[in-house]
């Protein structure tokens, strides 16, 4: 009845089905993992924003657990060391981020992304800093690194724009040490009027849980449906072998 299962075309079908089921399950697990990671990140964003406000000294402690915590800084903008971070969208509009070192004392500084500029303003932009000292509140973020793919910045020379907020690379071209993290500006006095304020980190759960459910449903349909297909084909073959019933 099920002897057809050993035929080459059906063996190929078994292998293809097994590969598809494995892919469905792996995709579902991957998306569920992304959902969990997104939820943990959201909790960190919300919880750490309520923690005690940090100071400049805390930023030089290189503690990775301070991401998303608030910090208060004072100093002067180092406009000659300002850089643009390319390919940054805000409300689905292309543009760039303006990143400027804030010199807190003569020996060190902190890189601050002060806002977003539309693409038309990114080319040839020149920041004009206020003459008076600046007091600001911002959100601590970790330095960005290039992943497996993506644009690669030159490793030498003075760059006026970068593909990502790479604090280590910017540290190579400024005359003072930078904190290993950077800060996203929330408020400042006086304000940076040239750039639009950055959007806060999103805290929605995203679509990953829905995608995971879809992949698991595909797996369920395959694991139930394929045996039914085989059973139907077996019964069809058996009926054909019996032939018509004679009166």
Q: Is pLDDT of 110 > 70?
A: yes
At 205-246, the pLDDT tens digits run 889 999 999 999 999 999 998 888 888 877 776 555 555 545
Q: What is the pLDDT of residue 173?
A: 94
**Total count of domains within the chain:** 2
Do 35 and 55 lie in one domain? The reply is no
d(CA 140, CA 112): 9
Burial state string for 203-240 with b = 16 or more CB within 10 A and e = fewer than 16? eeeeebbebbeebbebbeebeeebeeebeeeeeeeeee
Q: What is the pLDDT of residue 239?
A: 57
What is the C-alpha radius of gyration for the chain, rounded to an integer number of angstroms? 29
Is 217 contained in some domain?
yes
Q: What is the pLDDT of residue 202?
A: 79
pLDDT band at 4, cuts 50/70/90?
A: low
pLDDT band at 194, cuts 50/70/90?
A: confident
Q: What is the pLDDT of residue 188?
A: 92
pLDDT band at 12, cuts 50/70/90?
A: confident
Do 86 and 141 lie in one domain? The reply is yes
Q: Of residues 93 and 232, which shows the higher confidence score?
A: 93
Q: Of residues 153 and 74, which shows the higher confidence score?
A: 74
Q: What is the pLDDT of residue 86?
A: 93
Do 144 and 230 lie in one domain? The reply is no
Is 203 contained in some domain?
no
Do 67 and 120 lie in one domain? The reply is yes
The pTM for the full model equals 0.76
Do 89 and 160 form a contact (C-beta atoms < 8 A)?
Answer: no
Do 31 and 55 lie in one domain? The reply is no
Do 174 and 226 lie in one domain? The reply is no
d(CA 112, CA 98): 8
Beta bridge partners of 189: 135
Do 94 and 159 lie in one domain? The reply is yes
Do 183 and 147 lie in one domain? The reply is yes
Taking residues 56-62, report their average pLDDT: 83
Is 215 contained in some domain?
yes
pLDDT band at 2, cuts 50/70/90?
A: low
Is 196 contained in some domain?
no
Distances (CA, A) of 218 to 20, 23, 30, 89, 209: 9, 10, 15, 34, 14
Is 137 contained in some domain?
yes
Do 113 and 165 form a contact (C-beta atoms < 8 A)?
Answer: yes
Do 9 and 127 lie in one domain? The reply is no
Do 58 and 13 lie in one domain? The reply is no
Q: Is pLDDT of 8 > 90?
A: no
d(CA 170, CA 158): 8
Mean pLDDT estimate for the chain: 87
Q: Of residues 115 and 1, which shows the higher confidence score?
A: 115
Q: What is the DSSP letter of 66?
A: G
d(CA 110, CA 182): 6
Is 202 contained in some domain?
no
Taking residues 93-109, report their average pLDDT: 90
Do 104 and 159 lie in one domain? The reply is yes
Is 12 contained in some domain?
yes
Taking residues 21-40, report their average pLDDT: 93
Do 63 and 148 lie in one domain? The reply is yes
Q: What is the pLDDT of residue 1?
A: 61
- CATH number, residue 73: 2.40.50
Is 194 contained in some domain?
no
Q: Kind and range of the H or E element at 111?
A: strand 108-118
User: Which residues span the domain enclosing 18?
Assistant: 3-42+209-241
């Amino acid at each position: 009845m099920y002897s057809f299962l050993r035929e080459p075309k059906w063996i190929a079908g078994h292998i293809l089905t097994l590969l598809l089921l494995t892919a469905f399950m792996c995709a579902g697990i991957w998306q569920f993992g992304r959902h969990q990671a997104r939820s943990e990140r959201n909790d960190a964003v919300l919880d750490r924003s309520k923690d005690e406000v940090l100071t400049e000294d805390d930023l030089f402690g290189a503690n990775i657990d301070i991401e998303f915590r608030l910090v208060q800084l004072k100093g002067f903008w180092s406009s000659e060391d300002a850089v643009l971070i390319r390919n940054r969208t805000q409300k689905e509009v292309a543009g760039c981020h303006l990143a400027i070192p804030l010199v807190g004392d003569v020996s060190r500084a902190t890189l601050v992304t002060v806002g977003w500029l539309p693409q038309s303003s990114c080319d040839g932009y020149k920041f004009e800093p206020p003459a008076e000292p600046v007091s600001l509140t911002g959100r601590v973020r970790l330095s960005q690194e290039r992943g497996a793919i993506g644009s690669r910045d030159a490793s030498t020379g003075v760059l006026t724009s970068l593909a990502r907020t790479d604090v280590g690379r910017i540290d190579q071209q400024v005359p003072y040490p930078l904190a290993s993290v950077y800060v996203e500006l929330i408020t400042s006095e006086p304000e940076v009027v040239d750039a639009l304020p950055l959007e806060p980190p999103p805290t929605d759960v995203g679509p990953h849980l829905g995608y995971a459910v879809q992949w698991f449903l595909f797996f369920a349909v395959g694991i139930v449906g394929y045996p039914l297909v085989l059973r139907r084909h077996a019964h069809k073959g058996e009926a054909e072998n019996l032939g018509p019933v004679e009166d």
